Structure 1
Amino acid sequence: MDIGALHFQNPEAFWLLLFVPLLIALYVYRQQRRKSTIKFPALALAKKAVPSRRVKFRHIVPALRLAALVCFVVALARPQNAMEVEYTSTDGVDIMLALDVSGSMSTLDMLTNAEQSKLGTMNAERFWKNGDFWKYSRLGYAQDVIAEFIGKRHSDRIGLSAFGARSFTQCPLTMDYGSLLEILKASDDLARDTLVNNRTAIGDGLMNALARLKMSDAKSRVVILLTDGRDNASVVPPVRAAEVAKSLGVKVYTVGVGKKNGKILAFQQNPWTGDISWGERDITPEEGIDEDVLKSIASKTGGRFYRAENKAELEKIYSEIDELEKTEIETIAYARYAEKFYPWLLVGALLILLELILANTRFVRIP
């Protein structure tokens, strides 16, 4: 039986409270039966007689006894404070994020029309020099979407590896998502260093991520590889890296970003003055993603290949991967009870003690 935050282990004890009104009725009946007479020499003197405080408060002693009885009944019902405890067991997913930070990731081809119009009104040279353009680049949008993806995971270990002309581990597998997000945010610093070297080592980037997952004992191990180009700098070919992933039981999702064709917003520099301004250029075939290789990697490892030409498509892709790679969570809930009958027992005992003191002192009855 529960009343508010209290749980009563022996609620049947409350049946004893039915005797309370009976005891009150019995007390009233006995008071009415009791008749005391005092002879006064004159009626006028009787009218002037004023009841003393002792007479006015004569019912306090039986009231204390009755209150003590109620306290003892509540204590007998064993009030308890229930505290719900949950034990959660999780089978987390170990996820390595392999992120392309090559110079081409600075391309501004995933803009919405509104964003492109906005950038066109800004000072191109200042925009280039202070690095604000990065948040509108392929890498900037990838950072935003990956950060949202990390924010949705709760019981997984996630790591980050980056690759351009070479590959390296940015963050090993961790559940410290705060630190991971800070490291992810700083990835554009790496891309700045690779602007003059527009080479991409997809195979080595995948191998680096696999090295972090090799010793993992997680039930599910995943690599999400994002790139905007084709492999032209790896020591280990991408297809060979995919075979290694398959042998390790690691699933690889490959994500290609960037427009397939058309004109894109770009910086252009005046060869005579060195001034930087806005312009447009065509996407060349050499800039295209090697979809066949990325599809092969995903197919060999049981993953999927995705293509995103704008931020909205990229968000949809990572949301789908988030749904595909769900963590198994088993929750067992139980209640822990703390006994709360002691205060009721103590109050009842104090009321009985007070009743005895008053009954033998202030309200002592003289036969």
Structure 2
Amino acid sequence: MTGFYHPEFLFALIAIPVLVYYYWYHEKHSRRRALEFSKLSFVKAAGKAQTSDGKHSKVSYFTPKKTVFILFLLAFIFLIIGLAGPHIPLETEKEGVNVVLAMDVSGSMQATDYKPNRLEVAKKSALLLVNSLGEKDYAGIVVFDSGASSAAYLSPDKEKTGRKLMAITKRDGNTAIGDGLALATDMADSIPGKRKVVILLSDGENNAGSITPAEAVTFAKERDIQVFTIGLGSDEPVLYDYDPFGNPLYANLDEGNLKFIAEETGGEYFRSVDEETLQEIYAGLNQEIVREAEETDVSRIFYYLGVIALLAGMLLAFGRRQVIP
């Protein structure tokens, strides 16, 4: 919000009515003394201020002397406001955002309902988000299947992060959503002073790992990390492989856990059913990230205005056409 870093300086503005009263009192008594020592004919002529056609001439309210006083008063006001340290919020966040992509690379991500497969489409779509991040934003990547590991540490170099994203390869494990979220939370919290966001994508059920999704959510909430979740999968279970005994393996999306994670951490859950919707989700996520406004000091503007008003008043008062003898 708009405010002041040093509001105590604003108490000096109390002097304004005192200065105005002093000026009015001084001018009133100056005019009275002038009338007392002036000739009666001069007083009458000044009082009537008639023009040659018999009409009264218009007397300007803002006399040169009064204009000088107003300029000096404005200079005083601007300088006091500048000393108070005014600041306003801007649209962009000063320190940027830590954004960590937590990506499911389990065996089900090899399903071919997304062409050529889910993992490749997920990588290309996530690259849209990485490339859309701001200059002060940091990006990192965590991958998870039966466990979790770092694929790219937090870095402001989005091009490097993008290359590491596209280099991610398939794995054959199960799906440890809790482990993936916990490691992503730890990475997002590794660089202080920034807002922290995790984008978690999964196409399966949480059926592996040592940390439950609920435990990972608690971990994220303690560190004030916002988590957006993306559920990837077709409307029906998709066959992606067979186990060693020849039994079919299907990718079953666990929407309940993904919705729970997003709701508890102040994020949002998105459902992707094909390549187009997944790209739209990632392309729009940068707009969903809440960026706190930067408090920018604008006291310099008031200093400039104060100096301009002061110089203008001095020029009018003591310049070639000075009004103060």
Q: So what's the TM-score if we normalise by structure 2?
A: 0.57
Q: CA deviation at 1:99?
A: 0.6
Letter in 1 for 2:148: S
Q: CA deviation at 1:91?
A: 2.8
Residues 262 and 206 of structure 1: is their aligned pair in 2 closer, same or farther, counting only changes over 3 Å?
closer
Q: CA deviation at 1:216?
A: 2.9
* Structure 2: distance between partners of 1:212 and 1:254: 17
Given that 2:258 and 2:269 are in contact with CA atoms closer than 8 Å, whether structure 1 keeps it comes out as: yes
Deviations 1:133-159 (A, max 9, x none): xxx211111111111111111220010
User: Counterpart of 2:110?
Assistant: 106
Letter in 2 for 1:255: I
Verify: 1:290 aligned to 2:293, yes or no.
no
Gaps of 5+ in 2: 1-91, 243-247, 301-325
Given that 2:102 and 2:144 are in contact with CA atoms closer than 8 Å, whether structure 1 keeps it comes out as: yes
Residues 326 and 244 of structure 1: is their aligned pair in 2 closer, same or farther, counting only changes over 3 Å?
closer
Residues 263 and 288 of structure 1: is their aligned pair in 2 closer, same or farther, counting only changes over 3 Å?
closer
For residue 260 of structure 1, give the secondary structure of its aligned residue in structure 2. coil
User: Counterpart of 1:252?
Assistant: 227
Verify: 1:212 aligned to 2:187, yes or no.
yes
Given that 1:157 and 1:174 are in contact with CA atoms closer than 8 Å, whether structure 2 keeps it comes out as: yes
User: Counterpart of 1:158?
Assistant: 139
User: Counterpart of 1:167?
Assistant: 148
User: Counterpart of 1:94?
Assistant: 98
Q: So what's the TM-score if we normalise by structure 1?
A: 0.50
User: Counterpart of 1:227?
Assistant: 202
* Structure 2: distance between partners of 1:243 and 1:295: 15
Given that 2:111 and 2:238 are in contact with CA atoms closer than 8 Å, whether structure 1 keeps it comes out as: no
User: Counterpart of 2:126?
Assistant: 146
Q: CA deviation at 1:263?
A: 6.7
Letter in 1 for 2:96: G
* Structure 2: distance between partners of 1:247 and 1:141: 33
- Counterpart among 149, 163, 168 of residue 182 in structure 1: 163
* Structure 2: distance between partners of 1:260 and 1:322: 26
Letter in 1 for 2:183: N
Gaps of 5+ in 1: 1-87, 112-135, 269-281, 335-367
- Larger Rg belongs to: 1
| Matched ranges for 1:259-274 at <5 A | 259-261=234-236
User: Counterpart of 1:325?
Assistant: 289
User: Counterpart of 1:236?
Assistant: 211
- How many residues are treated as equivalent by the alignment? 202
* Structure 2: distance between partners of 1:163 and 1:89: 30
For residue 159 of structure 2, give the secondary structure of its aligned residue in structure 1. helix
* Structure 1: distance between partners of 2:193 and 2:114: 35
Given that 2:131 and 2:159 are in contact with CA atoms closer than 8 Å, whether structure 1 keeps it comes out as: no
Deviations 1:274-314 (A, max 9, x none): xxxxxxxx994xx2111111111111100111110111111
Task: Tell me the percent identity.
Answer: 32
| Matched ranges for 1:19-34 at <5 A | none
Deviations 1:213-260 (A, max 9, x none): 233323421000001101111101011101111111001111111112
* Structure 2: distance between partners of 1:291 and 1:216: 30
* Structure 2: distance between partners of 1:89 and 1:297: 25
- Counterpart among 301, 304, 313 of residue 277 in structure 2: 313
Q: CA deviation at 1:321?
A: 1.7
